[in-house]
Structure 1
């Protein structure tokens, strides 16, 4: 069954020329284009890392962020607002991440994230799709 799903995804990706298609990520729908998201993520690299050797910088490591509890990366000092959200059990769903990425300071007053946000909905969806490609160890798993 999984093999058929993977084959269908590969066919869909080929037929759409890499365009965005809805995918499930732990039961959450991801609709952006991961390849385009990698390009948009270049803005984020000054503060965040993804991949196998990722480390906390000014911002936390983003491996496995989609579906993870807010403010849950070890050894990272989050703002009080994000820490409280994490303690309350809030999760980085695609919807929550999109709201945060649109206007971080409006989403989490007092956030330490200096980035003003991504105005375009498509850019937010694409970055989320890109981030969803990284497992917790940065290995491309989920």
Structure 2
């Protein structure tokens, strides 16, 4: 089950077991405002040709980038994905992939992160860029 940093505002603990990254085997292994790292198994996240599904890369990238955005959000704000782009460089066929999200811009209303995904040999399989909008924390969160 994926780890979720406990200090993120707006996280509904009653929905954590339904969180998509849990179903995909994503595990966040490191979270700091300037670097969020996570892994995902290739098995179970394939497309019909036996390759890691591009949508799985996108889910890993958005999970890590959104977590980084939340860690960088000003007090009273929550991060929500606004735009995600992914370039798939090479196929991953087995094992795990690792994603690392680093900030490009952290502001008062938006944040943008680069997410680099590599295979177990350290070869880049995907480069993603995520921009999040920062909104007021919902009342009662």
Band the TM-score falls in, shorter-chain normalisation: under 0.3
Q: 1 or 2 for the larger relative contact order (CA 8 Å, sep ≥6)? A: 1
More helix by share: 1
Taking structure 2 as the reference length, what is the TM-score of the superposition? 0.23
Taking structure 1 as the reference length, what is the TM-score of the superposition? 0.23
More strand by share: 2
